Amino acid sequence: MDRDTMRLAPSILSADFARLGEEVAALEAAGADWIHVDVMDGRFVPNLTFGPPVVKALRKVTKLPLDVHLMIVEPDRWIDAYADAGADIITVHAEACTHLSRVLQAIRARGKRAGVSLNPHTPEHVLEYVMQDLDLVLVMSVNPGFGGQSFLGSVLPKVRKIREMAAAHGVQIDLEIDGGIAPETIGAAAEAGARVFVAGNAVFSGAPPSGQADHYRSRIEQLRGLAEAKR
Ligand code: DX5
Ligand code: ZN
């Protein structure tokens, strides 16, 4: 897979949970690349969403990669459950893992792509000794827990440094950014080196009750175009 392609990963955190299957089908029809699934446990972050049964249900309604972002404590206890549910990418927070290398190995042992997410204050150097063990780095550009927050531009130097680290280690990674991605911010994120863009509010807000797939398509295409322009 080409890691330099610009990919849009809409976050279903902003979807209508009462119609989740239809929402995911609409995103697929609208040209989304991945479906970003925000799992929150009310402990690692001050919000609660859903767990493996919902991922399992989503697996039945889309062929797109399910990009599962675990904002949970002790993620090592849950790797098998999310792998069994049909996740393609399992991303854990560095701040939640005492044994990060072991968790990444467990994800890969299940044949899944292993991701590490960093909160805004977490420096890139925590990745230094696991660069060979990961497939994806997810840089948080908001403090995780809620959709619709403002983009923190202070993380952009970190995106650049992670891109340099991957090159220095000779590894291919997906470099993903999450939080506050919008037409006003995606260009700077692309310029810094991000290639996968999570977007919740920017894709879902303002959708008319009918014609949602058209609305999602126009938002996704707009964001993709703005990212491409800053490659
Ligand atoms: C935040 C989540 C994000 C969030 C993005 O805790 O990880 O994926 O839903 O939403 P927007 O794009 O609205 O900032
Ligand atoms: Zn997320």
- In angstroms, what is the span from residue 179 Cα to ligand 1's centroid? 5
Distance in angstroms (rounded) separating the CA atoms of residues 78 and 85: 11
Distance in angstroms (rounded) separating the CA atoms of residues 122 and 173: 19
Q: Where are the domains of the chain?
A: 7-228
* Mean pLDDT (the chain, rounded): 97
Mean pLDDT, range 65-90, rounded to an integer = 98
Q: Give pLDDT tens digits for 174-196.
A: 999 999 999 999 999 999 999 99
Q: How confident is the model at residue 122 (pLDDT cuts 50, 70, 90)?
A: very high
Mean pLDDT, range 27-47, rounded to an integer = 98
- Alpha helices in the chain, H assignment, sequence order: 20-29, 52-59, 79-85, 100-109, 156-169, 186-192, 201-204, 212-228
Check if the beta carbon of residue 201 is closer than 8 Å to that of residue 184.
no
- Whether 4 shows a pLDDT value over 70: the answer reads yes
- Selected catalytic residue, list 2, 33, 178, 214: 178
What's the CATH fold of domain 7-228? TIM Barrel (3.20.20)
State yes or no: is 84 an active-site residue.
Answer: no
Mean pLDDT, range 34-40, rounded to an integer = 98
State yes or no: is 178 an active-site residue.
Answer: yes
Distance in angstroms (rounded) separating the CA atoms of residues 145 and 48: 8
- Alpha helices in 110-197, H assignment, sequence order: 156-169, 186-192
**Ligand 1 pocket at CB < 6 A:** 11, 13-14, 36, 38, 69, 142, 144-149, 178-181, 198-202
pLDDT of residue 104: 98
